[in-house]
Amino acid sequence: MKYKMAPNSLFAILLRNPWWYSVLIAGVISAMCAALMPKDLVVFGIIGTFPFLVIAAMALKRQWNTPSAAAVEAETARLAGLSWREFSAELNAKFVKQGYSVTRLGANASGSAADFRLEKAGQVTLVAAKRYKAATHGVEPLEALVAQKEALGADFAVYVCLGSVSPQAAKFAKDKAIQLGL
């Protein structure tokens, strides 16, 4: 049986926050133990902060290579400034770097919802990215992508966008297992 942490437990919340929050809590508890407990029991109080240090290490490992919010914003602004030709070339290069065999569909198939067909390890993924600069994305392009996915027998679908997705589109994407975002 695989155990799963409750999503709103203290440790789950600390895992989603910066790692130093857990270290700070461990430090505060240790200081309180040192100040309030008898000297012969302080060690046991400090040992009680060990789970917070483990959570801090886990959070640090998760957050180690993640970019800062400013870096993400700068990259989003850079991508928004690219033309479709430049953006699609960059996407193509990233997919190839990840080991996918890439076929462009946008120019080849008229009325195609997907712009790329990716293949890796026998699995096919359709990627729609042409509307990446739109401010808000609705359900219609996602429906077209799902229809093309089913028609071509693809395994996965990805919808690339920089803007926000309407709540209906987000629900539709979740129901149809479409990966959203960049």
Position of tokens 């959070």?
59
Q: In this structure, are 140 and 91 located in the same domain?
A: yes
- The string of pLDDT tens digits covering residues 104-134 is 986 555 567 889 999 999 999 999 998 888 8
Residue 3 lies in a domain: no
- 143, 166 in Cβ contact below 8 A? no
Q: Looking at beta carbons, which pairs linking 150-153 to residues 24 or more positions away fall under 8 Å?
A: 152/117, 152/124, 152/126, 153/124
User: Which CATH number covers residue 104?
Assistant: 3.40.1350.10
pLDDT tens figures, 12-51: 999 999 999 999 999 999 999 999 999 999 999 999 999 9
- Domain extent at residue 164: 70-180
* Judgement on whether residues 109 and 81 belong to the same structural domain of the protein: yes
Contacts of 149 (CB under 8 A, 6+ apart): 114, 126, 156, 157
pLDDT at 72: 87
Residue 141 lies in a domain: yes
Asked whether the beta carbons of 56 and 20 are under 8 A apart, the reply is: yes
Kindly write down the DSSP assignment for every residue of 164-180, as one continuous string: EE-HHHHHHHHHTTEEE
Q: What is the pTM of this model?
A: 0.69
